[in-house]
Amino acid sequence: MPRSANGKTVLVVGGGGFIGSNIARKFSSAGFKVRVAGRSLQPLHPIGDSKYFQIDLLGAKPDLGVFDDVQIIIHSATTTIPSTSMYDMAYDHNSNCSIALRLLEIAAARNIETFLFISSGGTVYGIPKLLPVSEDHPTDPISSYGITKLSIEKYVNLYGRNSIARAVILRVANPYGAEQLMGTPVGALANFTLRALRGEKIHIWGDGSIVRDYIDASDLANAVMSAVAIPSGAYNIGSGQGHSLNDLIEIIAKFKGRALDVSYEPSRAIDVPNIILDTTKFALAAGWRAELSLVEGAKKLWDFAQRQHLTNRARATL
Residue 114 lies in a domain: yes
What is the domain range of residue 218?
A: 9-181+214-241+275-292
Average pLDDT of 53-78?
95
Question: Which of 39-48, 177-186, 296-305 is least confident?
Answer: 177-186
203 in a structural domain: no
Please check whether residue 218 lies inside any domain of the structure.
Answer: yes
| Residues 115, 159: Cα–Cα separation, whole Å | 9
What CATH number does the domain containing 229 carry? 3.40.50.720
How far is 176 from 294, CA to CA, in rounded Å?
10
- For residue range 142-164, list pLDDT tens digits in order: 999 999 999 999 999 999 999 99
- pLDDT value, residue 115: 98
- Which pLDDT score is estimated for 316? 52
**pLDDT of the residue at 292:** 97
**Model confidence at 7: pLDDT above 90:** no
pLDDT band of 311, cuts 50, 70, 90: low
CA distances in angstroms from 105 to 11, 113, 162, listed in the order given:
15, 13, 11
Q: Find out whether 16 and 47 touch, Cβ atoms under 8 Å.
A: yes
The sign of the dihedral angle between the CA atoms of 47, 52, 58, 61 is negative
> Which amino acid is residue 144, in one-letter code?
S
Say whether pLDDT at 185 is over 70: no
When pLDDT is averaged across residues 52-68 and rounded to a whole number, the result is 94
For residue 100, count other CB atoms closer than 10 A to its CB: 25
Is the per-residue pLDDT at 251 higher than 70?
A: yes
Say which residues have a Cβ less than 8 Å from residue 12's Cβ, sequence separation at least 6: 20, 23, 24, 27, 34, 35, 36, 37, 50, 74, 76
Residue 315 domain-assigned (yes or no) = no
Domains identified in the chain, total number: 1
74-100 mean pLDDT: 94
Q: Structure pTM?
A: 0.94
Q: What is the DSSP letter of 67?
A: G
Q: What's the mean per-residue pLDDT of the chain?
A: 94
Contact yes or no for 240/198 (Cβ under 8 A): no
Say yes or no to pLDDT of 4 above 60. Answer: no
Q: Which amino acid, residue 141?
A: P
State residue 131's pLDDT score.
Answer: 97
Q: Could you say which DSSP state residue 16 is in?
A: T
Q: Quickly count: other Cβ atoms within 10 Å of residue 309's Cβ.
A: 15
pLDDT per position as a tens digit, 214-250? 999 999 999 999 999 999 999 999 999 999 999 999 9
Q: Is residue 22 a part of any domain in this protein?
A: yes
Report if residue 33 sits inside a domain.
yes
For residue 313, the model assigns a pLDDT of 53
Indicate whether 114 pLDDT > 60: yes
Q: Smallest Cα–Cα separation from 228: which of 103, 114, 68, 152? A: 114
Of 279-283, 296-300, 306-310, which range is least confident? 306-310
Q: What is d(CA 237, CA 254) in angstroms, rounded to the nearest whole number?
A: 28
Confidence of residue 3 (pLDDT cuts 50, 70, 90): very low
**pLDDT at res. 1:** 46
Give the model's confidence band at 168: pLDDT under 50 very low, under 70 low, under 90 confident, else very high: very high
Per the domain annotation, does 26 fall within a domain?
A: yes
Residue 265 lies in a domain: no
Q: Give 8-53 pLDDT, tens digit per residue.
A: 999 999 999 999 999 999 999 999 999 999 999 999 999 999 999 9
* Selection from 48, 44, 298 nearest residue 175 by Cα: 298
